[in-house]
Copies of this chain bind each other. A is one copy, B any other.
Amino acid sequence: MTGVNSSPAEPAAPRPPRRRVHTRARILSAAGELFLSAGYARTSIEDICAAAGYTRGAFYSNFATKEDLLLALFDEQAADRMAELERLAAAAEQLGPEERARRLVEALLRVEPAETGWILLFLEFRLLAARTPELAERVAAHDRAVTAAVAALLERGLPELVPPGAEAGQAAEVILAAREGLLARTAAGGPAAAQLLNAAMAVLAGLLG
């Protein structure tokens, strides 16, 4: 099969596009940075191409529309988030119940500075999705996945947070919503992230103790 050409009469063997392989990645990366600092709507395709070192056409040879690019970025980010949760679950598995609980609370509530940037972009995506059915399903699916992962974490490592009468999924939903709400407040110029998360920790600790 290797030496013998398989019927050269066939119109065109599907050849892999192996030209300037990094273009798409570079555009994605530039778009990510610009979206983070200026938001999706305020960032033009021209801006992105310039930052990545290409012209508009390069963009349209890699993405169908601007929304398509946003979706690619979202999928990337969503995958990262899920991978992180899986890592966290695996790490938690190794620990004793006490240390595990401490780690999980911290991991669920802590905020990296980078995230305060992402939250705005994510909110913009939620907003867009609210008016765009296809996108809405994507966000909803992502929410379901993250909620389920966090619910599993809670069940194994923080059962105190799942009170009798409630399901782990409900607790996860509330925690994630609170987290997103707090992040939104900080990102839009409210109190510092650290301060708000201290609040959340204090409230949680008090309620649990």
- Chain A interfacial positions (CB closer than 8 Å to B): 38-39, 41-42, 120, 123-124, 126-127, 129-131, 133, 136-137, 139-140, 143, 162-167, 169-171, 173-174, 176-182, 184-185, 187-191, 196, 198-200, 202-203, 205-209
Contact = CB atoms under 8 A, between A and B. Distances in A.
Contacts of A198: 170
Q: Could you say how many copies of this chain the assembly holds?
A: 2
14 contacts: A41-B41, A42-B131, A123-B126, A129-B188, A130-B189, A136-B188, A139-B190, A140-B188, A163-B209, A170-B202, A170-B203, A177-B180, A180-B181, A181-B181
A136 B182 contact: no
Q: Which 6 A-B pairs have the closest CB atoms?
A: A163-B206, A177-B181, A170-B199, A181-B181, A136-B189, A166-B202
A169 to B, nearest CB: 8
Contacts of A205: 163, 165-166
A89 to B, nearest CB: 21
A188 B173 CA distance: 15
B38 A131 contact: yes
B130 A185 contact: no
Nearest to A209: B163
A113 to B, nearest CB: 15
Contacts of A200: 170, 174
A177 B185 contact: yes
Contacts of A187: 130
A166 B199 contact: yes
B126 A164 contact: no
Nearest to A119: B130
A16 B199 CA distance: 50
B38 A207 contact: no
Max chain B Cβ within 10 angstroms of own Cβ: one of A167, A190, A208: A190
Contacts of A185: 143, 173, 177
A179 B199 CA distance: 16
Nearest to A125: B188
